[in-house]
Structure 1
């Protein structure tokens, strides 16, 4: 499995942080959330950065997809 999950980020002069997934805007962080994010990114390795951005955007697998497929509600 590749360490690259397709996330990138860019800090802007106005303090915003834009997080992209596969070239498309996934979310924008502002204020304290943006500054906390930048601080966390400076201490992380690449794979950890990818995981953090996946959690922030909600774009990650939770491990229960197989169970959910067989749930009666989804039949």
Structure 2
């Protein structure tokens, strides 16, 4: 895994998740909702998370992969106000 997480961001465990009663998986990054996974994709993710539950780094990697490339460096642009 050293080749995948070169900056050791996943050791800080930035991702968390919630499984709803309807079987959806809601993924959070720093307590902010990033994505909602539904249907068969959610079932597959839940199965993978349950098999890797003892390994926190592997769960973090699964959650990072499912969110895709959502951080591009421009997240703060919407918060600034240009005068």
Q: Normalised by the size of structure 1, how large is the TM-score? A: 0.72
Across the two proteins, how many residue pairs are aligned to each other? 61
Hey, what does 1:27 align to over in structure 2? 35
Give unpaired runs (5+ residues) of structure 1: 61-75
Q: Greater share of helix residues, 1 or 2?
A: 1
Point out the structure with max Rg over C-alpha: 1
Shift of 1:4: 2.7
The SS at the match of 1:14 is coil
> What runs of 5+ residues in structure 2 fail to find an aligned partner?
1-7, 71-83
Runs (4+) of structure 1 exceeding 6 A deviation are: none
Q: What TM-score do the two structures reach when normalised by structure 2?
A: 0.65
